[in-house]
Chains A and B, each alone.
Chain A
């Protein structure tokens, strides 16, 4: 067989790994150092995936060290070449979960300048598109799951965050239309308030006010979001396409005490 016909030739960063490991389906999870991303990575690993846990903060990926079902890798999702390098080092991927993103400080619109809009869009929206694009170029079926936010429906006090997540939802629908013929489903999960470092940074007063608006009176566990992602990654879940799974305890219905 001529060398150029080997698939491995297209994977310049391929690393030799045990056959059993290579044969497992691979899932790329971005933003996997903590919060929802980490919960998703751990859940998929438990379900038998080999998880490529990627994050900009490589030190915070320490939880994955020593595990043979998770490979931790540093990744800036806005760097297309870096994303390509990571993807080329592994088989697949079969599943991509776009968790990486930044949260917004709650700010009135008048205090959000052009740069803040750009930064939020470049990371939350642009980063999601870059990872999806690079993955789609390599995937032969599977699923892309984008983590949006209940905020995509609109919310006062964080317009730059809302616009970035609403754009993710729109892109999800377009990708779903475009990629389905290649056996790739694309869906979004829109979590409500989740117990992550993002909200841990709020003042106690702000935290109390926000949790009091939740239907259950508490923030959701990241594990709940991970379960929703695991469903969308499952064979049954892949029959969904272009959907936004609101995982917010019903807050989006808008009729709870506020």
Chain B
């Protein structure tokens, strides 16, 4: 059984449908695919308001914590669909905070519930590149069918996280 926790029409929902098709009845354990993508517009640090902070970081991370708490230990295989923005990016303090916070949360849950046979991982996409939904679905499906990987962030971005080509011209 696969539980998908994502807004309809979202990228994570699309990936969830693909994972369902890929796994079919092949999931031995109750599994969950959880949206952990930042939903915040890019804005420079100085332009961020207190409401942006609440809506773009505090509430979504608290909600993610609550969601994961509700899933374990019943769901023994959990994959978060997140982003690589925790590495830091232009005008993305909130997104970076959310992405890194989600990663820390994922690892904590993985550590706390590993003795109960629960695995938690993250597939991290490049938020500026939406071409890799199927690749992410394949990775997620693999992670949902193994007990051998936990607490890991698998970047699914064609290597963009290596970041050698992303320097921005000085204005």
Contact = CB atoms under 8 A, between A and B. Distances in A.
A177 B89 contact: yes
- A118, A152, A155, A176, most chain B CB atoms within 10 A: A118
Contact of B103 (A118, A125, A166): A166
A167 B104 contact: yes
Interface residues on B, range: 35 or more
Interface string B92-105: 11111111111111
Interface residues of A, number: 49
Interface in B57-84: 57-59, 61-63, 65-66, 68-69, 72
B69 A162 contact: no
Given A117-B62, A117-B65, A170-B99, A130 B111 contact: no
Given A114-B63, A117-B66, A157-B112, A167 B44 contact: no
Contacts of A132: 45
Secondary structure call for the A interface? helix
Nearest to A133: B45
A235 interface: no
B93 A129 contact: yes
Interface in B86-127: 86-113
A242 interface: yes
Contact of B108 (A109, A136, A172): A109
B69 A136 contact: no
A129 B93 CA distance: 8
B134 interface: no
A163 B61 contact: yes
Contacts of B85: 170, 174
Interface string A142-185: 00000000011111111110111111111111111111010000
Contacts of B104: 151-154, 162-163, 165-167, 169
Contacts of A154: 104, 106-108, 110-111, 151
Contacts of B94: 171
A125 B96 CA distance: 12
Contacts, number: 160
Interface string A108-123: 1110111001100110
Given A129-B53, A167-B101, A179-B45, A121 B95 contact: no
B170 interface: yes
A173 B112 contact: no
Nearest to B114: A156
A178 B44 contact: yes
Contacts of A169: 86, 100, 104
B50 interface: yes
B68 A121 contact: no
Contacts of A113: 66
- A118, A126, A155, A166, most chain B CB atoms within 10 A: A166
Given A129-B53, A163-B108, A166-B103, A173 B87 contact: yes
A118 B88 contact: no
B11 to A, nearest CB: 20
B108 A114 contact: no
A170 B100 contact: yes
B25 interface: no
B86 A173 contact: yes
A104 to B, nearest CB: 11
Interface string B6-32: 000000000000000000000000000
8 contacts: A153-B104, A154-B108, A158-B108, A166-B101, A169-B104, A171-B100, A174-B45, A178-B44
Interface of B: 44-46, 48, 50, 53-54, 57-59, 61-63, 65-66, 68-69, 72, 85-113, 151, 170-171
Interface of A: 80, 108-110, 112-114, 117-118, 121-122, 125-126, 129-130, 132-133, 136-137, 151-160, 162-179, 181, 242
Question: Nearest 10 pairs between A and B by C-beta?
Answer: A170-B100, A166-B104, A154-B107, A173-B88, A167-B101, A174-B96, A117-B62, A156-B112, A170-B96, A167-B97
